[in-house]
Structure 1
Amino acid sequence: MSLGCDLTLLEELTSNAKQIQEDVLNKILKANANTEYLQRFLQGSSDKELFKKNVPVVSYEDVKHYIYRVSNGEPSDVISGEPITAFLRSSGTSSGNPKIFPANNIFFKNVQIIYTLCSVVMSKHVEGFKEGKVIWFQPASTTPCGLPIAPVLTSFTKSEYYRSLAKKSTSPDQIIMCPDTKQSMYCQLLCGLVQRDDVVSVGAVFASVLVGVIHFLENYWKELASNIRSGHLSEWITDLGCRDYVSILLGDPNPELADLIENVCGQKSWQGIVSRLWPKAKCIDAIITGSMAQYIPALEFYSNNELPLVSLRYASSEAYFGLNLEPLSKPQHVSYTFLPNMSYFEFIDVDGEIVDLVNVKLGHYYEPFGLHRCRVGDVLQVTGFYNMAPQFRFVRRKNTVLSVYAEPTTEEDLLKALARATVILESSDLMITGFTCYADISTVPGHYVFYMELKAKVNNTSIDDLVLDTKVLVECCCVMEESLNGSYRSFRRKNGWIGALEIRVVQQGTFASLMDFFVCRGSSISQYKTPMCLESAEALKVLEDKVLARFFSDKSPPI
């Protein structure tokens, strides 16, 4: 199937979803029926009814052993009928530990199709998008057998299928692939600033990563401007790939651009900093659904609400699923149209019934799974159909819950509570730059603890230098409790089964330290997502060591 220059391909795929899914399944079974994993269930048969009857729905733990055997040097046919050319690493923060998944050239070709279609969709909605460049950030590593192991986009960057799209990036692959995260980020920002007039999109895989990049810029803008002023790269950039490319890009001294950067970054407030540094940017591109919704206020502040927050793709390390056909829609209205050629998709509903892609029902909730029938762990809701292809809203991670008694608090509940607190804080010119929580059952009754890193909108002042208003923070505790579900509110009022909700304000940079903690344990920095809820005692200690103040709700929420 060729890549068209218009939306004809999209119409073909979505109009023929049922037949394409059947074709995809047939190809998968013919290629994989004799792998060691599927041989146990299919005895070499490629019959699709036998597949649905005999192959069990599994978790990652059930297939992990096979994947790690290949990553350590055994043949691909342990688990894949196609040669495995790379391993994809998950963020490791939704489930607590990074996972790796095998990928082949078919996967990367599908990613190329998705990115080509995303570009076409953006060009349809945003004039001039196709002509400009984008800023991105991602690192990589390898498995013991020498195959690349990295997040999806990094692996795609290293594949032959990336070349047709590489010209849109402000940085070449030698910078993107630099193993030193600090050098890579610095050089990518430098490339983006030098080419500021060409940039049409500023983004990262996740909204949290982009907020982290902006914080990095806060610490290094003076040095970046100095490099541009002198035309010389800082000596601590020792990676040869980075040095060679950036030194050529810098060229002659550019005092005019250096002055502009110093003027923009030196202002008292960084409101609109993205729009001011990249005046031709037309959007911020990052995943902003699910747990990433907590970073929407910060990105709106840094763009001064002048740039749409675009969440273009829905993907995981297991598979690419689809794209957002209405990229300028508000974050709360984002839905993704599943493309039937990406993989063979099945879904399990709340009652345990398994259905195919084209048989999902409007308004119903499902968890998807794909090859080897491995559960992804996301909960999706069907919001509509584009031709015959269903569209889904991301609701939450399946296992992300908080509970101290018997109340099932979901990720969605927590985000609603956070949204209410954000409004209260914004009225006091504060914004949340980091957030997580945990269920503290070390005391009786147990209670919810929310860690927040705050920042003043005016004067670009860190919370460390501010006097915290007790009344404002206590009010945040109260409105958060009011926003939680009926079970929580009921147990909170009855017999003291749940204690008062607590907010612990932490020092500036605490959530960067939390990210370092997870990265040192194998998480990917380019895909890092601050965990919505924490369970690790070690991770909690990172936060506890930097608590500035504690505040509690002073009244029980209404039932």
Structure 2
Amino acid sequence: MIPSYDPHDSEYGLKLLEDLTTNAYEVQQKVLEEILAKNAQTDYLKSFLNGHYDKKLFKQKVPVVNYEDVKPYIERIANGEPSEIISAQTITELLTSSGTSGGQPKMMPSTAEDLERKTFFYNLLVPVMNKYVDGLDQGKGMYLLFIKPEISTPSGLVARPVLTSYYKSSNFRNRPFNRFNVYTSPDETILCSDSKQSMYCQLLCGLVQRDQVLRVGAVFASAFLRAIKFLEDHWKELCSNIRSGQVSDWITEPSCRNAVSLILEKPNPDLADLVEHEFATKSWEGIIKKLWPITKYIEVIVTGSMAQYIPTLEFYSGGLPLISTMYASSECYFGINFKPLSKPHDVAYTLLPNMAYFEFLPVERNHEEVVLCNGVSDQNCVLKEDETEKLETVDLVDVKLGHYYELVVTTFTGLYRYRVGDILMVTGFYNNAPQFRFVHRRNVVLSIDTDKTNEEDLLNAVTQAKLLLEPLGFLLIEYTSYADTSSIPGHYVLFWELKVKGNNDLEELIDPSIMEQCCSTMEESLDSVYRRCRRKDHSIGPLEIRIVKHGTFDALMDFAVSEGSSVNQYKTPRCINSEEAIKILDSRVVGRFFSKTTPFWEPFRMETK
């Protein structure tokens, strides 16, 4: 199911996408047939199908599962048992999730063929971008990419993040156009295990080649903004290196140092003066366009929890488009944004039907007293009275416009009817393939009493509150939250890191009355259950916002990385439970503010027929 494709042939790449999306149903049926035929004798499938591989029987007998259901099988393989437990193909490595968006890191099986499937997926991004942006072959891309150290399981299998796996593969080194030197970061700088040295060297290379950079980016918006913060802290040293033609002594990784030295070549005082002038300006508004004047766009994921970074990115971008190209996870690579120049809030991903077999659990979103899901039971959903066991799924081509679904995948690597945990909304169709907007992760919530606040609801409340600050010149750089139950009643706590345009001395500028209004606005924006608990039941105390010092969320990320998270895949958790993480945040608080009013609430009445 991996078509042969020359990524240099954009015309054929677009035709291939047309064929895949036009024949989505047929491709999906072939995918399921192939997966079942190859894996019918695995221990997992045999326990349900007795060696048969009928597609209808698969739907009837194989259950829809969570990670906890398949974890024992994956751990057995990690401990040395054969791949045939779940996969007919040899499992070559285990891919770890970031562990920041819904619990502890998970391990997902991967095979050599799966790496080829990912490479095919990446290659299809090229013709889509070429269709919408001219002249990308006339310059370079500055992409800030990072790896993390891998670990070895008792079986000897490597366990590492999916992006680390790809970056350390020959497929990445031989990616399209790499041999023509069209990326500013040498592979050696990306593969440097010291994330600080890697960041410094990649930015230095990007600055030296600034006149050739046509596009800039990172995987997630948060990583790109971390790079801007890094520039704020190190620009004088970077300029000094450019001026002298020498790399700083603390860059000690030999291959990384040598690769950067080849790009620096010789002293360049004129370039140093030029970029130093841009760095030294009072306000960094539009700094990306100023530093890389011919760049055409910023490529970062700004959907889901990354959406809250959009205003900050727009502040720094100088009007450059923000482009989210793809939707993927450790379990599987899913879909491509066929309209990359669409506004961030309009981004939709078209799932490629040959990447996996896709099913969908219908989710009825209500935002009021209850959320009903078709056979799905979790913290955000309750079962209908007549649905107690079987989870009824919908096939890819049968989803309905405007409806919400939870994504379920059956992969080529040993996951069968696996709940990814992503809630998606159907926004349209490309040929016969549906397009989805990523809404939020399942089970990422704040809860004190009967309230259940998910990631999307929290983002909406924060978005409404920060509207009070933006006219005053404040930018919300980062936020996270936790449910503080140390007192009775418990209450929501939001940590906000703010930036003042052109000024970092925000402590003296914070108006307590405005911050109290932000607290109240957030509460008014939360759902009916929360507001009832606050106003009528008094089971939730006033919402609190704690303002933290500049750089606090960098410290939070450093802590997460020290605990095993990947720099490249790190996403600031919107809800945190770690006592150590809360201590890091609390130690940097410069202001605490509470809601002074109780939010409006009236009883919700369900209509009866």
Classify the TM-score, shorter chain: over 0.9
- Aligned partners of 2:147 and 2:163 also within 8 Å: no
Amino acid at match of 1:260: L
- Provide, for residues 225-250 of structure 1, a one-character-per-residue CA deviation record: whole Å limited to 9, x for no partner: 11111111111111111011111111
Give the aligned partner of residue 343 of structure 2: 330
Q: 2:118 aligns with which of 111, 136, 155?
A: 111
1:183 is displaced (CA, Å) by 0.9
Q: Distance in 2 between matches of 1:261 and 1:244?
A: 23
Give the aligned partner of residue 85 of structure 2: 78
SS in 1 for 2:592: strand
Q: Confirm whether residue 153 of structure 1 aligns to residue 192 of structure 2.
A: no
Q: Distance in 2 between matches of 1:87 and 1:172?
A: 26
Give the aligned partner of residue 181 of structure 1: 195
1:168 is displaced (CA, Å) by 4.0
- Aligned partners of 1:454 and 1:462 also within 8 Å: no
Give the aligned partner of residue 24 of structure 1: 31
Amino acid at match of 1:63: V
Change (3 A) 1:337 1:478: same
SS in 2 for 1:392: strand
Q: Distance in 2 between matches of 1:131 and 1:229?
A: 27
Amino acid at match of 1:431: L
Change (3 A) 1:85 1:256: farther
Give the aligned partner of residue 568 of structure 2: 526
Q: Confirm whether residue 548 of structure 1 aligns to residue 587 of structure 2.
A: no
Q: Confirm whether residue 89 of structure 1 aligns to residue 88 of structure 2.
A: no
Q: Distance in 2 between matches of 1:406 and 1:318?
A: 32
TM-score, normalization: structure 2?
Answer: 0.88
SS in 1 for 2:236: helix
Q: 1:406 aligns with which of 438, 441, 450?
A: 450
- Provide, for residues 130-161 of structure 1, a one-character-per-residue CA deviation record: whole Å limited to 9, x for no partner: 43322221113333255554333332222233
Amino acid at match of 2:471: S
1:55 is displaced (CA, Å) by 1.8
Give the aligned partner of residue 175 of structure 2: 164
Q: Distance in 1 between matches of 2:86 and 2:244?
A: 54
Q: Confirm whether residue 2 of structure 1 aligns to residue 9 of structure 2.
A: no
Deviates most, 18-27 or 197-206: 197-206
SS in 1 for 2:472: coil
Change (3 A) 1:339 1:192: same
Change (3 A) 1:235 1:441: same
Amino acid at match of 1:212: R
Change (3 A) 1:421 1:132: farther
Q: Confirm whether residue 228 of structure 1 aligns to residue 234 of structure 2.
A: no
Q: Distance in 2 between matches of 1:462 and 1:36?
A: 62
1:396 is displaced (CA, Å) by 0.7
Q: Distance in 2 between matches of 1:114 and 1:374?
A: 21
Change (3 A) 1:197 1:35: farther
Give the aligned partner of residue 396 of structure 2: 357
SS in 1 for 2:468: helix
Q: Distance in 2 between matches of 1:484 and 1:131?
A: 48
Change (3 A) 1:513 1:39: same
- Aligned partners of 2:148 and 2:567 also within 8 Å: no
Q: Confirm whether residue 102 of structure 1 aligns to residue 112 of structure 2.
A: no
Q: 1:68 aligns with which of 56, 65, 75?
A: 75
Amino acid at match of 2:10: C
Q: 2:354 aligns with which of 341, 345, 364?
A: 341
Give the aligned partner of residue 65 of structure 2: 58
Give the aligned partner of residue 204 of structure 2: 190
- Aligned partners of 1:87 and 1:103 also within 8 Å: yes
SS in 2 for 1:370: strand
Q: 2:407 aligns with which of 368, 381, 384?
A: 368
Q: Distance in 2 between matches of 1:518 and 1:173?
A: 25
Alignment of 1:93-492 (within 5 A): 93-134=100-141, 135-144=143-152, 147-162=157-172, 163-165=174-176, 166=178, 167-304=181-318, 306-349=319-362, 350-352=373-375, 353-371=392-410, 372-459=416-503, 461-463=504-506, 466-492=508-534
SS in 1 for 2:311: helix
- Provide, for residues 433-467 of structure 1, a one-character-per-residue CA deviation record: whole Å limited to 9, x for no partner: 120111222222222111011111113x2545x44
- Aligned partners of 1:89 and 1:524 also within 8 Å: no
- Aligned partners of 1:447 and 1:500 also within 8 Å: yes
Q: Distance in 2 between matches of 1:79 and 1:445?
A: 47
Q: Distance in 1 between matches of 2:55 and 2:135?
A: 46
Change (3 A) 1:11 1:283: same
Change (3 A) 1:142 1:443: closer
- Provide, for residues 475-496 of structure 1, a one-character-per-residue CA deviation record: whole Å limited to 9, x for no partner: 2112212221222223322253
- Aligned partners of 1:33 and 1:44 also within 8 Å: yes
Q: Distance in 2 between matches of 1:244 and 1:490?
A: 62
Give the aligned partner of residue 536 of structure 1: 578
- Aligned partners of 1:136 and 1:169 also within 8 Å: no
Deviates most, 84-93 or 446-455: 84-93
Change (3 A) 1:120 1:338: same
Q: Distance in 2 between matches of 1:536 and 1:303?
A: 34
SS in 1 for 2:109: strand
Deviates most, 355-364 or 224-233: 355-364
Equivalent pairs counted in the alignment come to 556
- Provide, for residues 478-531 of structure 1, a one-character-per-residue CA deviation record: whole Å limited to 9, x for no partner: 221222122222332225332221110111221111112222222111111111
Amino acid at match of 1:80: S
Q: Distance in 2 between matches of 1:480 and 1:448?
A: 10
SS in 1 for 2:315: helix
Change (3 A) 1:495 1:377: closer
Q: Structure 2: where are the runs of 5+ without partners?
A: 363-372, 376-391, 411-415, 602-609
Amino acid at match of 1:377: G
SS in 2 for 1:362: coil
Change (3 A) 1:179 1:146: farther
Q: Distance in 1 between matches of 2:80 and 2:185?
A: 33
Q: 1:499 aligns with which of 533, 541, 558?
A: 541
Give the aligned partner of residue 367 of structure 2: none
Amino acid at match of 2:246: H
- Provide, for residues 186-218 of structure 1, a one-character-per-residue CA deviation record: whole Å limited to 9, x for no partner: 111111111212222221111111111111111
Q: Distance in 2 between matches of 1:443 and 1:109?
A: 53
Q: Distance in 2 between matches of 1:446 and 1:253?
A: 59
Q: Distance in 2 between matches of 1:530 and 1:424?
A: 23
SS in 1 for 2:357: coil
Deviates most, 65-74 or 198-207: 65-74
1:261 is displaced (CA, Å) by 1.7
Give the aligned CA root-mean-square deviation in angstroms.
1.8
Change (3 A) 1:472 1:262: same
- Aligned partners of 2:95 and 2:330 also within 8 Å: yes
- Provide, for residues 318-369 of structure 1, a one-character-per-residue CA deviation record: whole Å limited to 9, x for no partner: 1111111111111211111111011111111220221211111222111112
Q: Distance in 2 between matches of 1:508 and 1:557?
A: 31
SS in 1 for 2:466: helix
Q: Distance in 2 between matches of 1:113 and 1:280?
A: 29
- Aligned partners of 2:478 and 2:496 also within 8 Å: yes
